[in-house]
Amino acid sequence: MNGLLVIDKQQGLTSHDVVNRVRRILGLRSVGHLGTLDPSATGVLPIVVGNFTRLAQFYLHAEKKYEGVIRFGFATSTYDADGDAITLPQNVILNAEQVQTIALEFQGVLQQTPPPFSAKKIAGVPAYRLARRRLEVTLKPVEVEVKEFVILDVAGDRASFRAGVGSGTYMRSIAHEMGIKLGCGAHLAELRRTAVAEFMVEDAYTLDELESLARQGTLDNALVHPRKLLPQMPCVTTSEENAGLIRTGRAVNLPEMSRAPLVKVFVGQRELIAIADRIAGTLFHPKIVFLGEAA
């Protein structure tokens, strides 16, 4: 089986937990995910299966969208609700206009310091492993992009938001830094990822739903149609003769694709056989070849 599933991850599971569960449901080892989602967060986690794990390289910089809640009044060690309080709790009644004004400072290209409890590596070791052992964690700021950050509602000590961010952006860090700016501490109380690249939460399946489909023998219903993957990349349907050349790693002429730098090459409607890059004119060389048919 080659394909892509959109999972609606439940709270408390790591991304690796989800991968392991999908492996058991499908009875396959070749399973991966596109973009880690914190255990306390819920929502979209795209899962790639079989040869489609090779698509991961095209989603390294995928935009993510979130909805969530920031709680003001104290900061935590993990910058979310799972951590220990690291500042004294304060009674806070938020001013909506002030929160919205501060939120404007977190839009655009920013220098952001990742949370100490994160997968960022220090000398090859994930920061969260050092933090759990109470060792010093010093992470350098990195450049991130926040394309949208809108405060939707303010009530008591909590502010709900909607955000669209570039790869590597931590909403936990934004919550923590907003607390610093307001002088009262803050942490991320809730987070739900609503989209990764073209994959939306409306199209996602829970693990229980996926297991039910497997029992019914209708897993194909959960797979994203291959032509919907990487929508910014054009599709071309090629001949069996060209397909034979592509499968052996040889270049082919695709006259209808004179301008595209990369194309998805299909045989028929569903069989994605390769992603090819243009090397000259209308001559394309397979960058990735998918052996076998897409499920």
- Note the pLDDT of residue 293: 42
Confidence of residue 271 (pLDDT cuts 50, 70, 90): very high
Residue range 79-104, pLDDT digits in tens: 999 888 999 999 998 999 999 999 99
Span 179-206, average pLDDT: 97
Q: Does 3-62+198-224 match 228-289 in CATH topology?
A: no
Strand order in the sheet with 252-253: 235-237, 262-267, 271-280, 283-289, 252-253
Residue from 1, 62, 66 nearest 31 by CA: 1
- Note the pLDDT of residue 255: 87
- Note the pLDDT of residue 125: 59
Residue range 140-164, pLDDT digits in tens: 888 999 999 999 999 999 999 999 9
Pick the CATH number of 228-289 from 2.30.130.60, 3.50.50.60, 1.10.540.10, 3.30.1220.10: 2.30.130.60
Residue range 203-221, pLDDT digits in tens: 999 999 999 999 999 999 9
**List 38, 153, 157, 277, catalytic entry:** 38
* Lowest model confidence (mean pLDDT) among 23-37, 124-138, 206-220: 124-138
**pLDDT beyond 70 at 74:** yes
Active-site annotation holds for 38:
yes
Instruction: Quote the CA–CA distance of 194 and 183 in Å, as a whole number.
Output: 30
Instruction: Quote the CA–CA distance of 163 and 38 in Å, as a whole number.
Output: 16
- Note the pLDDT of residue 258: 76
Is 64-196 a domain of CATH 3.30.360.10? no
**pLDDT beyond 90 at 25:** yes
- The pTM score is 0.89
Residue with token string 């000398």: 123
> What is the dotted CATH code of the domain comprising 3-62+198-224?
3.30.2350.10
Residue spans of the domains in the chain: they are: 3-62+198-224, 64-196, 228-289
**pLDDT beyond 70 at 295:** no
Contact (Cβ atoms closer than 8 angstroms) between residue 39 and residue 168: no
Confidence of residue 134 (pLDDT cuts 50, 70, 90): low
